[in-house]
Amino acid sequence: MSPAVLEALGDVVQNKSSEGYPGARYHSCCANIDEIEQLCQTRALKAFNLDPAEWGVNVQPMSGSNANLYVYSALIECHDRIMGLDLAHGGHLTHGYRKGKKKISMVSKYFETLPYYLDSKTGIIDYDHLETLAEQYQPRIIVAGTSAYSRLIDYGRIKQISSKIGAYLMSDISHISGLIAAGLVPSPFGHSDIVTSSTAKLLQGPRGGIIFYRKGPKHTGIGSVEDAINASVFPGHQSSPHNNTTAALSVALHQALTPEFKEYQKRVLLNAKALADGLIGLGYTLASGGTETHLILLDLRPHGIDGARVERVLEMLGVASNKNVLHGDTSAIEPSGLRIGSPAMTARGLGSSDFTEIAKFVDRAIGVTKKLNALAEEQAKRAGEKEPGNLKYFMQVIEEDANHKSMIRELRAEISTWIEQVTRH
């Protein structure tokens, strides 16, 4: 977030209760709050180049996850059917997730959910299989959205499928909303009935949620989509909105309309590509073979290490990353993947050549992780541990053993010196 967004997030409007919507509040003295929310709605539609006669927007959800639940609750009944990309294939918990009979996500408890998948050979969404599953399962909502997927979505193809079976198409753009606002990747709005997003990440706003909806009736059985969604947000799920978050989002959406914002998003894409190329050049495999967005998914299986161990070593080096499940993984605790994004370091002014250097640091961190893991296993065997490859034992060793930590301290110092130099300019 920019300093201006942070300043708005700490504004005194957070002290005001304001249940309801502009012009229809359940509390008095909300004239200024109404103005803030209406300004935010106007800017949201403008930022995504939407016609207010065709599209409406609700800016009150307190997160992207909440926004998704509110849409499901508005448009379908409990135990109606939803399809979303499988979690291990890059989807999100709020698109439904279950393991066998165990319903991990509450979305899969409230509704019946069936995942669609990536093509195991290409790492791209298998649209033909999605169509076959949709025809058999007959979901009421198909979710086009991802959490850990580095390729673009063919919204037009999913719209054809949803129209064929009479389902809503809900697109969740939480991770790429900034790229869409900047016009750098395909927009879902021409194909979708509903578009949801978190408001942080590439939109560079506060942590909140937003729901865009096509106006007019659409076989909800309870009136218009607009009325159904607004009623689902309030009074269906929330009470007073977080007015400071609305104010901060309004500032972020204003910034999204500037040339500087678009230039930033362009650099995000260039830097992600540089990171991907750098890692491929060092002999690494990426899920789907590369990236078309702001993130890369590193497949660590060929290197005999997992994402959890590498994530922790990188964290000790002062580098933020995210362990991530990949297709074929059986554990979310020790997954094979590592997710790395370019937005944060791009915001600090780094360019493509710097991301090539970051790839080298990641490579060295993986090398250190492998050495530490081998040492931890040897130490565990000497201590008579029954499971020398246990993740908890690895974590304990690297954090408590001074000899093991020395490798981390040396590389951390080098990374720290480098980042001070490249961000000083």
**What pLDDT is attached to residue 224?**
87
**What pLDDT is attached to residue 424?**
77
Q: What is the dihedral of CA 367, 369, 371, 375, to 10 degrees?
A: 180
**What pLDDT is attached to residue 332?**
85
The SS3 call for residue 273 is helix
The answer to whether residues 228 and 312 touch, using CB atoms and an 8 Å cutoff, is no
**What pLDDT is attached to residue 223?**
72
**What pLDDT is attached to residue 387?**
83
**What pLDDT is attached to residue 150?**
96
d(CA 184, CA 218): 30
The radius of gyration of the chain's CA atoms, rounded to the nearest angstrom, is 23
d(CA 330, CA 314): 23
Domains along the sequence of the chain with CATH: 3-255 (3.40.640.10), 260-422 (3.90.1150.10)
pTM comes to 0.94
**What pLDDT is attached to residue 24?**
95
Q: How far is CA 270 from each of CA 115, 273, 323, 419, rounded to the nearest angstrom?
A: 32, 5, 23, 19
pLDDT-flagged residues of the chain (< 70): 217-222, 425
Q: How far is CA 292 from each of CA 111, 266, 269, rounded to the nearest angstrom?
A: 32, 12, 7
